[in-house]
Chains A and B, each alone.
Chain A
């Protein structure tokens, strides 16, 4: 049981996709303009990651080595399209905000990375747990970056404004994304990753 739990916890600290593995930087930098956007992006990736990990751990034994990458891409793209359709139908607001970055989950290194590094060598349950762990780790990282950028850039958290007036505009734009990511990475590796 302890081993199963550590599979999930590894995703937060030891295998944290953003601060340790430094994967999936494109959506990380682009969608963390606010805490809510970061959270939604993280959850969308979590959905794809868990399902693709499960499917790939099931398929791995029967897929010949030569075509394993194409098969994984097809599987991941299928789940992303499913997610896209579901979001369009039930959460149109989030779909409009995240727009292009939802289809881009297909080429997100975290999803393919976990498929290659974990899911094709491990069982279904372990792969699902790994997907949940890494997915939640990614969600948490994006949300934290989003919170910091939203406070500095817009003076609000999750849309709740507590500092009147305009924030520091740079933090809403690309330079702020790099700055916040860099400093959080330093703090994370100094204090959490032992």
Chain B
């Protein structure tokens, strides 16, 4: 009895070990590709993406990838995470040096399918409105007095999305030499931010 259970467990452990070793490289590559694709999607074409760096803003560390063209940093892809309706909402936000949003993409999302999860549909109005979102406009949903149209029946997700973009813009502004406080940055009054792994 004990022998049988031990035997089965040993065989299963061996199989799992083998599969883990076999899939370790492909998994790492797949994750890398997702990250690369998301960075590429949010930055202008023809730029070179340099090594990731981190910047601390309002007590949270942001990972960002500078985009270099002709030796100058022209834009940044910032990884920005906020809390949505169903858990952390993690975005990659491409921001030009002047604070204009170039594009956004979703890295991790656990929002309600069919409602908040619509923020993952890249062709939707909610997503395209962020392309070319200038620094003169307010990164808040219209309900809160901003210029972002929320997803129908998903205000919390939309708020979290806008806030993530807003934080990313603030980080880029800081990199550009502007020392921004929470309020003057983009009008985000209460940043709900979480750290990686919490």
Chain A 149-164 interface residues, beta-carbon cutoff 8 Å to B: 153-154
Knowing A74-B12, A173-B114, A173-B115 are in contact, say whether A67-B1 is a contact too (CB < 8 A): yes
CB–CB B5/A71 < 8 A: yes
Knowing A33-B113, A34-B113, A37-B113 are in contact, say whether A89-B4 is a contact too (CB < 8 A): no
In the complex formed, the residue of A with least CB distance to B107 is: A96
Query: How many interface residues does A have (CB within 8 Å)?
Result: 31
CB–CB B4/A92 < 8 A: no
A122 within 8 A of B: no
CB–CB A75/B8 < 8 A: yes
Chain A 33-74 interface residues, beta-carbon cutoff 8 Å to B: 33-34, 37, 59, 62-64, 66-67, 70-71, 74
* CB neighbours of B1 from chain A (8 A): 64, 66-67
CB–CB B31/A81 < 8 A: no
Query: How many interface residues does B have (CB within 8 Å)?
Result: 24
CB–CB B114/A82 < 8 A: no
Complex formed: what's the CA distance from A96 to B110 in Å?
9
B34 within 8 A of A: yes
A86 within 8 A of B: yes
CB–CB B9/A62 < 8 A: no
CB–CB A166/B152 < 8 A: yes
Q: What is the distance, in angstroms, from A159's C-beta to the closest C-beta of chain B?
A: 9
Knowing A88-B23, A92-B31 are in contact, say whether A82-B115 is a contact too (CB < 8 A): no
In the complex formed, the residue of A with least CB distance to B106 is: A96
* CB neighbours of B60 from chain A (8 A): none
Knowing A62-B4, A71-B5, A166-B152 are in contact, say whether A89-B16 is a contact too (CB < 8 A): no
CB–CB B8/A71 < 8 A: yes
Write out, one digit per residue, whether chain B residues 101-138 have a CB within 8 A of any chain A CB (1) or not (0): 00000001010111100000000000000000000000
Complex formed: what's the CA distance from A38 to B137 in Å?
40
CB–CB A89/B12 < 8 A: no
Complex formed: what's the CA distance from A92 to B30 in Å?
7
* CB neighbours of B9 from chain A (8 A): 74
A6 within 8 A of B: no
Q: What is the distance, in angstroms, from A143's C-beta to the closest C-beta of chain B?
A: 16
CB–CB A88/B115 < 8 A: no
CB–CB A67/B4 < 8 A: yes
Complex formed: what's the CA distance from A165 to B174 in Å?
40
B27 within 8 A of A: yes
Q: Which of A64, A78, A86 contacts B12 (CB 8 A)?
A: A78
* CB neighbours of A96 from chain B (8 A): 108
Complex formed: what's the CA distance from A89 to B16 in Å?
15
Complex formed: what's the CA distance from A82 to B5 in Å?
20
In the complex formed, the residue of A with least CB distance to B8 is: A71
Q: What is the distance, in angstroms, from A75's C-beta to the closest C-beta of chain B?
A: 7
Complex formed: what's the CA distance from A154 to B8 in Å?
46
In the complex formed, the residue of A with least CB distance to B151 is: A166
Q: Which of B26, B34, B115 contacts A90 (CB 8 A)?
A: B26
CB–CB A59/B115 < 8 A: no
A107 within 8 A of B: no
